[in-house]
Amino acid sequence: MKAVGNGRHTSFWYDKWSSLGVMSEMLGERGFIAMGIRREATVAEALQRRRTRHRREILKQIDMELSHIAANQEVEGVGADDVDMWRWNSGYKPRFSTQETWRMTRVSAAQCDWGGSIWFSQATPKFAFRLAIRGRLATMDRVAVWSQGVDTTCVLCKRASETRNHLFFECSFSTQIWEPLMKGILRNSYSGKWEELISLLATSPMEKKKQFCFRYTLQATVYMLWRERNRRRHGEQPIHATVLTKHIDKAIRNKLSLVQSKGIGGLEVSLQYWFGLTDDLVDGLTDDLVDIMRRQWAMDIYKDWVVPVYVGEEMV
């Protein structure tokens, strides 16, 4: 938008100097003839032309706009330069604002109340469960929509149809993992219902170390359960629920140890807090389960570090 001063630096046809709009877009090619104004003319030149009477209402309105500009120049003088005006929510202003431009060009939506529960300080990016919280994981109930006839049975418990809410944490297998990890944190607020847990994440006030343990445990458990689900879907050897619980517990302890070493306010005793909640996780582990757990950790390390060697067309 142009605020016309003397009109010497504002194109009559191609700049938006009137609230009516851009003249070339309004009148088209025949506008040059109808107005009697050349294509390269400025607003200053248009003000100096000889006026003619028009039949079309839009042409009369343009002449009225020019008359208003001429009247202002008589009052204020013709020495003022033209000024570029920038659009704000409150109207046009002579100052540009990146913030205002961003607000006007983006699509506004309701504020996400669970965003801080996914992306928070010291979170592990690979544990972020944005797809799960938005219901976009490729669970079998969703796969069945575009692939008729697939088996939708949950591979973890083999008792119910696989949905997001079933996997997290209504499934009997996932409950064996979720309950010992979370019951000590939530206590009377403990739940295995997905919607209730997301509501707790967004609305329940908690002490900082408790909130961090709640968020991180939920993320780590969702990640590990989805990973185990995929392993079984692809025919890999299943991991016992007790062993998987220990894997999650180990990941959480490692993270809390790192966080505590950084001296972050409110998390100085987070590791001790977690120990007080989960010391009983080691109870009931038989020698066989410990051996399985050790083998599984060794396999994970092997998968991460092994480098295939190719000899000719065969892999060794």
pLDDT tens for 21-51 read 899 998 998 888 888 889 999 998 888 887 7
Whether 91 and 137 share a structural domain: no
Q: What is the pLDDT of residue 304?
A: 44
Task: Give Cβ neighbours of residue 228 (< 8 Å, ≥ 6 apart).
Answer: 156, 238, 239, 244
Domain that holds residue 21: 2-105
**Which tens digits make up the pLDDT trace of 180-239?**
999 999 999 999 999 999 999 888 789 999 999 999 999 999 999 999 999 999 999 999
Whether 49 and 125 share a structural domain: no
Whether 98 and 126 share a structural domain: no
Q: What is the pLDDT of residue 315?
A: 40
Whether 166 and 82 share a structural domain: no
pTM, full prediction:
0.63
Whether 222 and 81 share a structural domain: no
Rounded-to-integer distance, Cα 240 and Cα 115, Å: 32
Structural domain ending residue among the three candidates 72, 105, 138: 105
Q: What is the pLDDT of residue 158?
A: 94
Q: Is residue 243 part of a domain?
A: yes
Please, are residues 43 and 7 in contact by the beta-carbon 8 Å criterion?
Answer: yes
The SS3 assignment for 43 reads helix
- For 46, the token pair is 């248009």
Whether 183 and 277 share a structural domain: yes
91, β-bridge pairs: 88
**What is the phi/psi pair of residue 200, to 5°?**
-65, -40
Q: What is the pLDDT of residue 251?
A: 94
Q: What is the pLDDT of residue 283?
A: 52
pLDDT in tens, the chain (316 residues): 888 888 888 999 999 898 898 999 989 988 888 888 899 999 988 888 877 788 889 998 998 989 888 888 877 776 778 888 888 888 888 899 999 999 888 887 777 777 888 889 999 999 988 889 889 999 999 999 999 889 999 999 999 999 999 999 999 999 999 999 999 999 999 999 999 999 998 887 899 999 999 999 999 999 999 999 999 999 999 999 999 999 999 999 999 999 999 998 899 999 999 998 876 664 544 545 545 544 554 454 444 434 443 344 444 4
